[in-house]
Amino acid sequence: MKDLLDLWFTYMKIGFVNFGGGYAMLPLLERELVNKKGWTTMEELRDWFAIGQCTPGVIALNVSTFVGHKRKGVAGAIAAMLGFLTGPIAIILVVAAFLKNFAQLEVVQHAFAGIRVCVCVLIAQAVIRLWKSSVIDVFTFVLYVIIFALSAFSGVLPFKIPAAVLVVLAGLTGLTVSMVRNRKKAERKEGDA
Amino acid sequence: MIFLRLVLEFAKTGLFSVGGGLATLPFLYEMASNTGWFTHADVADMIAVSESTPGAIGINMSTYAGFKTDGIPGGIMATLGLALPSVIIILIIARFLAKFRKNPLVEGAFYGLRPASIAMITVAGLNVAKISLLNLPAWEISHAVGDLFVWKALALGVVLFIAQKKLKWHPVIFIAISAVVGIVFKF
């Protein structure tokens, strides 16, 4: 029970400061979950983000479910999810009940223009941290460039490929390439023998 | 049975919106037309609110719509409905991964998933940079480099980038500082 409360509380803190979507959250998660709590590793987080992108639902919520499940199974996943939702629910209920023109307030607009700059920096930090362990050879670099180009210029392309489809295709390509490599390696070994 | 309908409608949205917050938008517009729980203008307002609060737009919209329909319990039920499908799916994948993490096939899939995942993160970051560091409307009129960049935002970005490398502060502190700088210097 104590562990579940700890999960809930840790994720409640994260949910309250989850500005700028799932990706900006990564440095925060590294700080809270990897360094402070030791619940997971940066490598695991990286893989959970990759899956969270191509499964339905909010990416940040998907990652919190993974973290909770690793700690305490199904109950842990639910505790982390509820913790993560606590902040946003509370804030939106207050905004909906009391602040009619919250988003139009000048002070709010200025504050969030400032926060958006910070979100850029946080995401840049996330990319730099993940780059080394993900873009490891020519194949992964080429894949990075292709996926980057397809999603960055999706507005000018004549066809629209949903992000989830891109990620799934990339996974299948990785699977095929590594299988072909393994087979070649096995054949070479047989040839040597 | 408004509770049940709230949960079901938002569970449907949660199930079919893949790839983060904005993917929920078409479903939300459709729900506005079909149920009358909220209007299209409410959705537009909620996009603005979601940009000005922590939390994803899908989560925020479900809370807001649930609250409009049936007060605080409605807000909570709708949000749980949105979260439910993805939690179930992730739990199934997490179980599978725990067993097959070292499987060469799973390893192979991740070999391709990882660079793709980072490419998408890079694009997401650039999209935020485009609206916070660049002033494209002004540049399109004048085509002067001086107008292209929002210089004070760029300065804040550079300072933050260096600061977070040098100082081991909690990311929340940088977020708070950025908000204050934004208010004081009227970003």
Q: What are the tens digits of pLDDT across the range B69-98?
A: 888 999 999 999 999 998 999 999 999 988
The angle, 0 to 180 degrees and rounded to 10, between the axes of the packed helices B171-184 and A106-134 is: 140
Question: Which of A18, A77, A98, A33 lies closest to B56, judged by CA?
Answer: A18
pLDDT tens string B8-26: 988 988 887 776 556 677 7
Q: CB of B58 within 8 A of CB of A58?
A: yes
A134 contact residues in B (CB cutoff 8 A): 114-115, 117-118
Question: Which of B160, B161, B158, B163 lies closest to B178, judged by CA?
Answer: B160
Q: Say which residue the tokens 């992964």 belong to.
A: A140
- The number of angstroms, rounded, from the C-alpha of B56 to the middle of its chain's C-alpha atoms is 4
Is the same domain home to A3 and A60? yes
What pLDDT does B21 receive?
A: 59
A22 contact residues in B (CB cutoff 8 A): 20, 56
Nearest-by-Cβ selection for B187 from A55, A114, A143:
A114
Per-residue DSSP letter, B18? B
Per-residue DSSP letter, A153? T
Question: Which of B153, B157, B115 lies closest to B135, judged by CA?
Answer: B153
Is the same domain home to A124 and A140? no
Question: Which of A85, A79, A4 lies closest to B14, judged by CA?
Answer: A85
Which chain B residue's Cα is nearest to A21? B56
Is the same domain home to A127 and A192? no
What whole-number distance in Å separates Cα of residue B81 and Cα of residue A37?
A: 30
Is the same domain home to A69 and A140? no
Give the count of beta carbons closer than 10 Å to the beta carbon of residue B95: 13
A53 contact residues in B (CB cutoff 8 A): 19-20, 117, 120
Q: CB of A40 within 8 A of CB of A154?
A: no
Which chain B residue's Cα is nearest to A63? B90
Sequential DSSP letters for B19-52: SSGGGGHHHHHHHHHHH-SS-HHHHHHHHHHHHT
B115 contact residues in A (CB cutoff 8 A): 134-135, 140-141, 143-144, 147, 170
Q: What is the ipTM of this complex?
A: 0.82
Decide if B86 and A57 are in contact by the 8 Å CB cutoff. Answer: yes
What pLDDT does A125 receive?
A: 86
pLDDT tens string B98-112: 888 888 888 899 899
Number of domains in chain A: 2
| Vertex B153 angle, CA A127 and B115, to 5° | 15
Between A and B, how many CB-CB pairs are < 8 A? 338
Q: CB of A92 within 8 A of CB of B63?
A: yes
**pLDDT tops 70 at residue A150:** yes
What whole-number distance in Å separates Cα of residue B18 and Cα of residue A57?
A: 6
A135 contact residues in B (CB cutoff 8 A): 114-115, 118
Is the same domain home to A87 and A147? no
Question: Which of A37, A39, A38, A17 lies closest to A28, judged by CA?
Answer: A17
Is the same domain home to A130 and A161? no
- Domain range for A119 is 1-134
Which chain A residue's Cα is nearest to B62? A89
| Vertex A51 angle, CA A155 and B10, to 5° | 75
The mean pLDDT value for A125-147 works out to 91
Phi-psi region of A173 (alpha: psi -120 to 50; beta: other; left: phi over 0): alpha
Sequential DSSP letters for A41-61: -HHHHHHHHHHHHHSBS-HHH
What pLDDT does A137 receive?
A: 93
Is the same domain home to A40 and A50? yes
Choosing from A134, A165, A182, the residue where a domain stops is: A134
Choosing from A85, A106, A134, the residue where a domain stops is: A134
Choosing from A113, A134, A155, the residue where a domain stops is: A134
The mean pLDDT value for A124-145 works out to 90
Q: Where are the domains of chain B?
A: 2-100, 104-184
The mean pLDDT value for B168-173 works out to 84
What whole-number distance in Å separates Cα of residue B40 and Cα of residue B12?
A: 19
Decide if B59 and A58 are in contact by the 8 Å CB cutoff. Answer: yes
Is the same domain home to A129 and A189? no
